Amino acid sequence: MASIAVIGLGGMGSRMAGQLLDAGHDLVVWNRTPQRTSDLVARGAVAADSPAEAARRASLVITMLSDPAALQQVAEGPQGIVAGATAPTTLLEMSTVGPAAVRRLAAMLPDGVGLLDAPVLGSISEAESGSLRIFVGGPELLAQRWMPVLAALGSPMHVGPLGAGAAAKLVANSTLFGVLAVLGEALALADGLGLPRNTAFEVLSATPVGSQADRRRPAIESGRFPRRFALSLARKDVDLIVSAAESTGVDLPVAAAAGQWLTAAQEAGLGDRDYSAVLAHITNTARSA
């Protein structure tokens, strides 16, 4: 069994850490808000005083943080992961931060410290049950070495060299937000044209967004959107998608438009709600927008 550090114990990281404990690994944890370590410590994990200390104590260091700025804060500086990591430790970056943040981290690692980017598809319940899809980027041999650990978290898939995991995650998420925007706009159109909601949902059921219409219907009808993936994080993902596309000369007007809905919903105070609350925002505001 490996000694593993998990840094970032939010909705996803705390559950992934729990899976690793259940799999029998020695776990070191660090979180900016220290209270979030207590449940895992009660189950046998050790809390580190800093990301550097966590990295010193582990042969594999997993980061699961909100965004590139959080990764920078935790990785860099005298108390950061980079200061504590020594060969032959491996860093496994699992947040959604995009390829540029992975490149920045790679450039500052000491010789002999390995790096894989391995962001995940799936949400809180998949993290809790160890059934995430994991897109792994990095050297094949290094990826193979950590596959048994990743298997405790879900289904890992090696997708290419360093940065390919982060790229795969952006590609996957680029489909999520446009679909929600199209569904929200279709419902707003139905409202505008006087089609009853029941009828609209039956019609949409038979379209390419049918599965999303069926899945989101209870939340739209009840107005309750239980948080699994914060709308502010979805907005961050759209920014990453659009800027990664721009940096390679790819123009994505649909992604940018979906991002505008998420930005508007965040400005309306929905940033802490589940990202699907953008549907309520679209149906409530589209007519006067």
Ligand X SMILES: NC(=O)c1ccc[n+]([C@@H]2O[C@H](COP(=O)([O-])OP(=O)(O)OC[C@H]3O[C@@H](n4cnc5c(N)ncnc54)[C@H](OP(=O)(O)O)[C@@H]3O)[C@@H](O)[C@H]2O)c1
Catalytically annotated residue among 25, 57, 158, 169: 169
Q: Which is nearer to ligand X, 204 or 266 (CB)?
A: 266
Q: What is the four-CA torsion angle of 219, 222, 226, 232, rounded to 10 degrees?
A: 70
Min dist CB 246 to ligand X, Å, is 20
9 binds ligand X (CB under 6 A): yes
End-to-end CA distance of the chain: 56
284 binds ligand X (CB under 6 A): no
Which residue number places its CB atom closest to ligand X? 10
Q: Can you tell me the distance from the alpha carbon of 76 to that of 61, in angstroms, rounded to the nearest whole number?
A: 14
Q: How far is CA 41 from the centre of its chain?
A: 24
Residue 61, sorted as left (phi over 0), alpha (psi -120 to 50) or beta, turns out to be beta
* Contact stretch for ligand X (CB under 6 A) within 117-125, 142-150, 206-214, 257-265: 117-125
Q: Can you tell me the distance from the alpha carbon of 30 to that of 51, in angstroms, rounded to the nearest whole number?
A: 6
**Contact by Cβ (8 Å): 214, 223:** no
Q: How far is CA 225 from the centre of its chain?
A: 18
Q: Can you tell me the distance from the alpha carbon of 244 to that of 111, in angstroms, rounded to the nearest whole number?
A: 27
Min dist CB 79 to ligand X, Å, is 11
Closest C-alpha among 117, 122, 160, 120 to residue 140? 160
Q: Strand ranges (DSSP E) for 44-104?
A: 46-47, 60-63, 90-93
Min dist CB 7 to ligand X, Å, is 8
Tokens (6 digits) for 269? 């105070």
Q: Which is nearer to ligand X, 51 or 204 (CB)?
A: 51
Among 5, 52, 70, 164, contact with ligand X (rule: CB under 6 A): 70
Min dist CB 165 to ligand X, Å, is 12
Tokens (6 digits) for 213? 């219409």
Q: Which is nearer to ligand X, 10 or 178 (CB)?
A: 10
Q: Which is nearer to ligand X, 14 or 89 (CB)?
A: 14
96 binds ligand X (CB under 6 A): yes
Contact track, ligand X, 11-50, x by CB under 6 A: xxx-----------------xxx--x--------------
Among 106, 228, 239, 252, contact with ligand X (rule: CB under 6 A): 228
Closest C-alpha among 46, 50, 45 to residue 84? 50
Active site residue 169: yes
Contact track, ligand X, 158-187, x by CB under 6 A: ------------------------------
CA distances from 192 to 135, 195, 222, 227, 285 (A): 41, 8, 20, 28, 11
* Contact stretch for ligand X (CB under 6 A) within 159-167, 180-188, 226-234, 262-270: 226-234
* Contact stretch for ligand X (CB under 6 A) within 66-74, 77-85, 108-116, 160-168: 66-74
Q: Which residues are catalytic?
A: 169
Chain contacts with ligand X (rule: CB under 6 A): 8-13, 31-33, 36, 64-66, 69-70, 73-74, 95-96, 120, 123-124, 228-230, 233
